[in-house]
Amino acid sequence: MKDRWISLYVENQVGVLAKVSGLFSGKNYNLQSLTVGTTEHEDVSRMTICVTSDDVTFEQIKKQLNRMVEVIKVIDITTQPLHMKELLYARINDIGAEEMNQIFHLAEVFKVRVCDAGEDCLILECLLTTESNNELIKLLKKKFKKVQIVRGGAVAMESISISKR
């Protein structure tokens, strides 16, 4: 079992997201990440999907997606060189001045932005890889008592050069 990534080009119509996600839920496949947005063509959307599965199940998923009328193209991007980022917001509550300074230092190290601050709380805006976001979350939870996390799914585009994620 490992994380697999699929990029789908689909018709930008009402109900397409429900049909695609319904395929996953109907077969008991758990989506780790799902993002959707329109492309340069307003009648076409691109979905970036992460699912944890074995090789056989992943092949089944791709075949089932290819059979859907609304799906224009299925691309397995699991092993392709990509540019991939995930949006994450982290709110750290009930902190003092020393802890606030620690968070500003962490923000600098991770190259994330402090986007909001109050007397005893901060919000970080992170646009990192999923792995880097996981590391940041682990560190925040270890150092601070009250941490809230909101994550968007990852978006990815195949690389022009040979650099990877």
Give per-residue pLDDT as tens, 48-78. Answer: 999 999 999 999 999 999 999 999 999 999 9
Question: Of all residues in the chain, what percent carry a pLDDT higher than 70?
Answer: 98
With cut-offs at 50, 70 and 90, classify the pLDDT of residue 163.
Answer: low
Burial of residue 136, with CB atoms counted within 10 A of its CB: 0-12 exposed, 13-18 middle, 19 or more buried = buried
122-128 and 82-93 as β-strands: parallel, antiparallel, unpaired? antiparallel
pTM for this one?
A: 0.83
Residue that wins the pLDDT comparison between 85 and 163? 85
Strand residue runs (E) in 16-143: 31-38, 44-53, 71-76, 82-93, 113-117, 122-128
Summarised one tens digit per residue, pLDDT across range 97-139 is: 999 999 999 999 999 999 999 999 999 999 999 999 999 999 9
With cut-offs at 50, 70 and 90, classify the pLDDT of residue 28.
Answer: confident
